[in-house]
A and B are shown apart, each in its own frame.
Chain A
């Protein structure tokens, strides 16, 4: 009896040890599997972290199409949860030792990952990438990222509402100064509608609106960078800066005509596309990514476009005829855990997007993305993408500030919210912005 019990105990113990050991050993086994996928004729499985959740289903379809043409490559899409930052997800994957083969990250994240990702300088698509699209991801002469999408923002207008307000067909070129914008707002208000909606999200106010104060300093990118350097060094007096003041003059105007003036901070993102699409307001400060939501409320027969955010009363000043646009999402290829075969497969997928007809169709028509490659001749099908393409073609583009510090939108977005709700005045806002920059690492 006693002997039997001891035997049982031993067997239970050995079972536990076996379970633990097999759990630990599982990973090593799969790793050796993947490393055996050396030759290209064998099947390769690659993964991609997708941080544009709105195109997840299109991307999965693209993965299927790509697999159909390259039967030995299977692409799996790993979505980033909504509300989670792609940087956080990617660093968590690295920490757990299982990064995806491809990672779609924001421009500002690339530098942090540069020791862990492939140098893509010699890829064939480099020669077709539009001007400046890889400048922000090039370090020591090496480019580490694939420019995936261009996005832009400004005042989105509803053509129906504005036609009604001006009594004819509204011409977007007629608004190039703060005074002209004021007149337009008054005309809209005269029709009984609200001129615009200011969405109070910190990312919109902090990263996008306030970003115009930096990017609008000069058409020369080097001078903008110098301005940021001076800000960090505490050598800029924002309170007397012309672009900053001009931008806030426009913001004061927006505050006055805001449909949510009574409680400016209570609005949500979802409210913006609704009131704009239904024609309750004429203008919304937002970007082309809002198109799917606007289209679901559309009453203007798909007629929308962008107006620049004026910063002065001289139409020739930089920023008054430009809208802000830049490459927003980048794709990086892991070099730590990916096998050479996986890296080749991932590079093949990037080539497929740029040069294959189906890849281009996915990018432009299915995912409604404005491509960053000059060889792609397909036109965006949605009005906001079209509007941005027109500005790009006319050269009326102001570089978006896509390399601001990671907590800039959150901290200074809060300062902009205070200004929007009249908790602080302009001098207070300027000093909060300067204090942030002098503390940033």
Chain B
């Protein structure tokens, strides 16, 4: 159809296929995004009729908001640990369930299952586990690590978030790694084994380099999910104890809706957007360079 001549015909064709999507994309993504940027220059509180223009005040406010930067720092730490752990666990799981062991289909489904549960529900389930089940078990079996609730201690609550995040996302990343593992050419592996390469050597020299595209995707996904964590944060720790586990998304939300400073909250959201976009783009750019051809 693209070969058809005439501007009108071609425009019409494009409009039929991309028009509805473009319309939806513009109304739910582009326009709200631009409107959001506009709001960062106002002192709107979320309900008032007047929106007073305040210039760059909100952006100056972002840099003055020490709590924002503190929670951003903590989010960075959280993202780093979860990205490493999620991908390590996911790769090991994928490696294990592609070895041809019994019932590996069931294992794959089982590891993937946590992904199907929404973050809020999952948070409440784990809250019960951390607050009741583990404490009960810890007290019965005299395990000091579990005898008090993890969620009542700032450091342990932070690790509780990490444990649940890894548990939730590892299965999803595992599926991508399985696809990557399946795509490693059998002939290359066969040739290597004929040449006498050990399993470990094949993994390090052939499998891992060939799976770089999978790693790029998985790290990108886990980075982005880590930065945007909100549902789990709210339902598992709700930022507590005493705001020590309040991740940056939650802080932004509270700034806009709880402190009723919509302009400042929106400005923080925009700064966060820029930072996360920069980090993920850099990650994709640099890891692309690691890709090899089979």
Contacts and interface: CB of A to CB of B under 8 A. Distances in A.
Interface of A: 6, 9-10, 12-13, 16, 20, 83, 85, 87-88, 90-91, 94, 112-113, 115-116, 200, 202, 262-266, 268, 405-407, 410-411, 414-415, 417-418, 421, 423, 441
26 contacts: A9-B16, A10-B12, A13-B15, A83-B234, A85-B257, A88-B257, A94-B47, A112-B45, A112-B48, A113-B47, A116-B49, A263-B148, A265-B151, A265-B240, A266-B135, A266-B148, A266-B149, A407-B254, A407-B259, A410-B243, A410-B258, A414-B242, A417-B241, A417-B242, A418-B242, A441-B261
Given A113-B47, A265-B153, A421-B152, 10 more contacts: A13-B12, A13-B16, A85-B257, A94-B47, A112-B48, A112-B260, A200-B241, A202-B242, A266-B131, A406-B259
Residue from A115, A200, A414 having most chain B Cβ neighbours under 10 A: A414
A107 B95 CA distance: 58
A9 B19 contact: no
Interface string B235-270: 000001111000000000010011111000000000
B20 interface: yes
Contacts of B261: 441
A16 B16 contact: yes
A137 to B, nearest CB: 15
Interface string B1-29: 00000000100110110011001000000
Interface string B145-181: 0001101110000000000000000000000000000
Nearest to A10: B12
Contacts of B118: none
Contacts of A441: 261
Interface of B: 9, 12-13, 15-16, 19-20, 23, 45-49, 131, 135, 148-149, 151-153, 234, 240-243, 254, 257-261
Contact of A265 (B45, B48, B241): B241
Nearest to A423: B242
Given A16-B19, A410-B254, A262 B49 contact: no
Nearest to A260: B152
Given A417-B241, A417-B242, A421-B242, A263 B258 contact: no
B152 A265 contact: yes
Nearest to B127: A268
A116 B47 contact: yes
A171 B124 CA distance: 41
Contacts of B152: 263-266, 421
A115 B48 contact: yes
A262 B242 CA distance: 17
Contacts of A83: 234
B231 to A, nearest CB: 11
A417 B240 contact: yes
B161 to A, nearest CB: 16
Contact of A9 (B13, B234, B240, B254): B13
Nearest to A12: B16
A85 B16 contact: no
A266 B151 contact: yes
A112 B131 CA distance: 38
A263 B242 contact: no
A414 B240 CA distance: 8
B149 A115 contact: no
